[in-house]
Amino acid sequence: MSVIAAALWLRRADRVGSGTQLEGRPSISNAGQLIIGARLRLASVPVQSHLVVARGGELVIGDDVVIGHGAAIAAHARIRIGQGTRIGPYVSISDTDFHVAGKRDAEPQKTPIDIGRDVRIGSRVTILRGAVIGDGARVLAGSVVSGDVAAGSTVGGVPARPAGVADAGADLSVADGVAATVAVALGLEAPPAPATALADLEGWDSLGALRLLLGLEERFGVTLDDRGVPKARHVSDLVTIVEAVLAARHA
């Protein structure tokens, strides 16, 4: 999407930093304060993402944040997302319960959410009101987060608890795991061969590379340089990148 088109879809924000990239058309509702940092990458394909700020609420998104498709972020008090954080597809973040059980007319509680810098949040994670996630933490896919997550820790489960980082996809070789992740990220019918040129694959563009980056991080439990994956030329290059990071982690 062009810079002009992105500005149009984000016109309800109070401030938008430079270099914003949108994939698809998000739903934006702002009755409070919405601050978006530089170089936000927000996907709404194949499923639209929603950013909602209620009256009196505040949503602050730092620089270089990536938000996957199908995200639902609702700020009734305050939600802060730190610089460099990556949020996977279908993540739900809300600082209110929206209702009080058994009390139709009661005002629902609202408690701010604070997500630190360089956090990695897997797909289909739910973050509940009052959650505080420290810098560099990792939340595994499908988790439900409430309370505090220590900086640099890895949590998973329902509710999310500290977990050791196991190599996701351990039943596959790294090469097979990378190929399978490429197929899912780019919507291919079958995993590509190692020698396949990425540029020849449908869906391989800057945003496709970002989806793949998030997918590889989630599958293998690693953090990748977001400049390395887009520069890869063949599927085998991705295997080399992942193997190098895994080797360094176990050194």
Whether residue 145 sits in one domain with residue 54: yes
pTM comes to 0.68
Whether residue 157 sits in one domain with residue 53: yes
Last residue of a domain, one of 129, 162, 195: 162
Whether residue 188 sits in one domain with residue 113: no
Whether residue 110 sits in one domain with residue 8: yes
Strand order in the sheet with 126-127: 27-30, 50-53, 72-75, 92-94, 126-127, 144-145
pLDDT at 6: 67
pLDDT in tens, the chain (251 residues): 544 556 667 888 889 999 888 988 899 999 999 999 999 999 999 899 999 999 999 999 999 999 999 999 999 999 999 999 999 999 999 998 754 334 455 466 889 999 999 999 988 899 999 999 999 999 988 888 988 999 999 988 877 888 654 444 445 688 988 988 888 788 787 889 999 999 999 888 777 787 788 888 878 877 887 777 888 999 999 999 999 988 887 66
Last residue of a domain, one of 162, 195, 213: 162
**How far is residue 131 from each of residues 51, 95, 205, measured CA to CA in Å?**
18, 8, 34
Residue 55 lies in a domain: yes
Residue 16 lies in a domain: yes
Report the 10 Å Cβ neighbour count for 103: 9
Residue whose structure tokens are 């080399």: 240
Residue 71 lies in a domain: yes
Residue 168 lies in a domain: no
Residue 169 lies in a domain: no
pLDDT at 134: 97
CA nearest neighbour of 10 among 34, 32, 31: 34
For position 184, which CATH number holds? 1.10.1200.10
Domain count, the chain: 2
Whether residue 19 sits in one domain with residue 113: yes
Whether residue 179 sits in one domain with residue 72: no
Residue 167 lies in a domain: no
Whether residue 221 sits in one domain with residue 198: yes
Last residue of a domain, one of 130, 162, 194: 162
Whether residue 151 sits in one domain with residue 75: yes
pLDDT at 239: 93
For position 138, which CATH number holds? 2.160.10.10
Whether residue 232 sits in one domain with residue 203: yes
Report the 10 Å Cβ neighbour count for 206: 10
pLDDT at 159: 79
Whether residue 201 sits in one domain with residue 133: no
Integer Cα distance of 18 and 233 in angstroms: 28
Instruction: State which residues form the domain around 235.
Output: 174-250
Residue 33 lies in a domain: yes
